[in-house]
A and B are shown apart, each in its own frame.
Chain A
Amino acid sequence: MTPTAGKIHVLALLLLVASPGWAARPRAPLPELQTAANAVALAEEVGAATYAPLELRYAAEQLDQALQVQESGDTAQARRLLEQSLVNSDLAVAKSRLGRTREAVQVQAAENAQLRGDGAAPPVDTP
């Protein structure tokens, strides 16, 4: 169980909600926070760290910024950052899926070429 960025963000979100400072200023957390955190976690799960590291980094940073901005009270900016985080997570997921599929195509094409090569080998001599 490794502490991935997505899990850290979800944890940070829960701490924010439960913190005394937050209780002192009763602001409801933005529902988009959870959605964006889940999207980052999903991007990590599908291998975005390998196939789309830039988009994943953007998404994680924008999620962090959104948390900070919301804490400062700028809900509109927080929403904008969460939208950006979400779309970057989606882009990271899409790129990761494309990368995985292309790899599978390459592997399969190589296997087929190997089989075709075997088939092209001289047949077993007949008596």
Chain B
Amino acid sequence: MRRALTLVLALLLAACGSAPRRDLDYDRLHASLDALAADPELARFALAERALAEAAVRRLDASSINADEHVQLSYLAERRVDIAYIAAQTERERMRLDTLQREHASLLLAASRRETAAMRIELDRQRQRELLQQEAAQRGATTNPPPGVAAALSSAATSVPAEPVASPAPAATIAPPASTPANPVPLADGERTSAPLPVVAAPPPAVPAVATATPAEPGASTLAQRMAALVPEYGADGRQMTLEDLVFEPGTATFAADAPIGIARVAAWLAAEPALGIRIAGHTDATGSPEANRSLSLRRAEAVRDALVERGVGLSRIAVSGEGATLPVASNDDAAGRARNRRVVVRLGGGSG
């Protein structure tokens, strides 16, 4: 009985002796490394530091170490695990920094583009302003000629009273120019009551007098007088009437006060040829950006179209275009040439009809 009891005790002691040793430090550090390896954000970083930490933890697991060595190895392993975590976080932060630096570069690029666009807009605005000032200056020179020019004009008026260029008479009483045909096209009712102007009929192509007719010279008289004297001419593409730039307020597509006189004459001329299509082309001088010039010329052509439609011209007959400064009729090097280039041409035989 005693032997059996001794045997059982010996077996129990042996069982206890062979039970796996539990090292809490090792377990904790090992679990920490496992967590780092499983971390979705950090697992791919700091592989070398993780390998060093795993080696340090493995040294801790050796069964041959004594208590002092265990303390030492535990101290080292704990710091190696910390270093692995910190190195992984550092690499993740570096990736974040790279992303931010790329974003910074793209933001700078976008800012630079915005700045360039703003500068371009400002430049266009300045050109537009200069254009407006030039037009205003030329308009002032036309309507209020300098004293020398005024004197010359007045002397011409006294010497040649029949010349419409220097005639001070109001538009309604101006005698028709020499090229005006004898049988004028009747005006619309409203125009007849408000402005009883002499109206020209569409000249037949065979009449040389009409074919050589030229639009009134800007600056030769007031705008109202020139509008009243507006006649068709023969251009490269057929019969046309040209509205000068002073028909519009400077730099805009807004009609000047006397513009309806000329519009009415154009409308009357077009009414005489109801079967033909009409093309209205706006033109500018070469000052300013091509985009701004094209836009302005188109808006002016559209303004003329709208005015003609208001006077009964069929919209379906009309096609408009803004040519900008691409089709000059004079040099853009001097003010007079630029003034001639700024125009709206209404042409018969084109259009959408």
Which residues does A use to contact B, with CB under 8 Å?
Answer: 80, 83-84, 87-88, 90-91, 94-95, 97-98, 101-102, 104-105, 108-109, 111-112, 115-116, 118-119, 123-124, 126-127
The count of chain B contact residues (Cβ–Cβ below 8 Å) is 32
Let me know if A127 and B121 touch, CB within 8 A. yes
Q: Which of A87, A97, A105 contacts B79 (CB 8 A)?
A: A87
Let me know if B75 and A105 touch, CB within 8 A. no
A97 and B118 in contact, given A88-B79, A111-B104, A127-B124 (Cβ under 8 angstroms): no
Provide the bound-state CA to CA distance between A84 and B79, in Å: 9
* Shortest beta-carbon distance from A39 to chain B in Å: 12
Q: Which residue of B lies closest to A118 (CB)?
A: B111
11 A-B contacts, Cβ less than 8 Å apart? Answer: A84-B76, A87-B83, A91-B83, A94-B87, A94-B90, A97-B90, A98-B89, A101-B97, A108-B97, A112-B107, A126-B121
Count A-B contacts at CB 8 Å. 73
Let me know if A104 and B107 touch, CB within 8 A. no
A91 and B86 in contact, given A80-B72, A83-B72, A126-B121 (Cβ under 8 angstroms): yes
A112 and B100 in contact, given A80-B72, A87-B76, A101-B93 (Cβ under 8 angstroms): yes
Let me know if B121 and A115 touch, CB within 8 A. no
Which residues does B use to contact A, with CB under 8 Å?
Answer: 49, 72, 75-76, 79-80, 82-83, 86-87, 89-90, 93-94, 96-97, 100-101, 103-104, 107-108, 110-111, 114, 117-118, 121-122, 124-125, 128
Q: Which of A84, A88, A108, A126 contacts B101 (CB 8 A)?
A: A108
* Shortest beta-carbon distance from B88 to chain A in Å: 10
